[in-house]
Amino acid sequence: MKDLTRALKRRVELSDSSDWTGAPVPTTPRAAAPAPAAAPRATARPATNPATAATSSSARRKAEVFAELSEKIKTCRACPLGAARIQAVPGVGSHDAQVMFIGEGPGFDEDHKGEPFIGRSGKLLDKIMESIGLSRENVYIANIVKCHPMVDPSDPEKRGNDRPPSPEEIEACRGWLDTQIRTIAPRFLVTLGAVPARVLLGDSTPISKIRGVWRDYEPGAGAAKVRLLPTFHPAALLRNPDLKRDVWADMKNLREEMSKS
Binding site for ligand SF4 (CB under 6 A): 73, 76-79, 81-82, 88, 145-147, 169, 172-173, 176
Verify binding: residue 107, ligand URA, rule CB under 6 A: yes
User: Smaller CB distance to ligand SF4: residue 33 or 86?
Assistant: 86
As measured in angstroms, the least distance from the Cβ of 27 to ligand SF4 is 49
Partner whose binding site includes residue 219, from ligand URA, ligand SF4, none (CB under 5 to 8 Å by kind): none
| Alpha helices (H) in the chain, listed in sequence order | 2-15, 50-53, 56-74, 81-84, 108-113, 120-130, 167-184, 194-201, 207-210, 234-239, 244-259
Spatial distance between the Cα atoms of 74 and 87, rounded to a whole number of angstroms: 7
- Return phi, psi of residue 203, to 5°: -135, 120
Partner whose binding site includes residue 225, from ligand SF4, ligand URA, none (CB under 5 to 8 Å by kind): none
Rg of the chain (C-alpha set): 18
Spatial distance between the Cα atoms of 139 and 129, rounded to a whole number of angstroms: 9
Verify binding: residue 111, ligand URA, rule CB under 6 A: no
**DSSP state at residue 165:** P
Verify binding: residue 105, ligand URA, rule CB under 6 A: yes
94 by Cβ neighbours in 10 Å (0-12 / 13-18 / 19+) ranks as buried
- Return phi, psi of residue 4, to 5°: -65, -45
User: Smaller CB distance to ligand URA: residue 52 or 211?
Assistant: 211
As measured in angstroms, the least distance from the Cβ of 11 to ligand SF4 is 32
As measured in angstroms, the least distance from the Cβ of 89 to ligand URA is 6
Which of the ranges 24-32, 119-127, 174-182, 244-252 carries the binding residues for ligand URA, by CB under 6 A? 119-127
Among 21, 121, 161, 191, binds ligand URA (CB under 6 A): 121
Is-contact 47 129, C-beta < 8 A?
no
As measured in angstroms, the least distance from the Cβ of 7 to ligand URA is 20
Kindly list the residues in this chain that would bind ligand URA in the complex (CB under 6 A).
103-107, 110, 116-117, 119, 121-122, 143
